Amino acid sequence: MAEKQENSKEKEKEEVPNSAPIENTRTDDELKVIAVDLYDGKIFSDRHMRDENSLLVVFMPIAFGAFNNWTKERLDTLGIIYEYLSEAGPRSVNGMPTFMSFRLLNREETEKMFVHYEAYKKMKEEFIGKPEDKNKKENG
């Protein structure tokens, strides 16, 4: 009987996906698309926020408990929370969009994505010029 209880507890642990680390699921090409879209302003992320409390207002599922069952270990693997602006609701709060959905990258994917982001940024600035240079020409 005790062995049966131990087996069911082990099986229960295996079935709880919220305790596992966030897996690497994005290909390098997908991370490049996210990097380009983030740079080009098509994505709003937790990196755009002024404070942590804004997460609950911007990404509504978080306020409704999306991470409530996650272990601390799993939360520690979280890299970036984001969503495409095309998915934003009709209202904004404190000048920020609101979403009823969000997407995640783990830390490793986030680091890779930001390497692509910086490469894209550099390439675009070399080709077009830095945004502040463009403003000086238009206003000068």
More confident residue, 89 or 15: 89
Is 80 exceeded by the pLDDT of residue 79?
A: yes
Q: Distance between CA atoms of 14 and 19, rounded to whole angstroms? A: 9
How high is the mean pLDDT of the chain? Answer: 84
105 SS3 class: strand
State the first-to-last Cα distance of the chain, in angstroms, to the nearest integer.
Answer: 83
Average pLDDT over every residue of 103-115:
96
Is 70 exceeded by the pLDDT of residue 1?
A: no
Q: What is the pLDDT of residues 3-35, one digit of tens each?
A: 544 444 444 444 445 656 677 789 999 999 999
pLDDT in the model for residue 111: 97
Q: Distance between CA atoms of 88 and 102, rounded to whole angstroms? A: 10
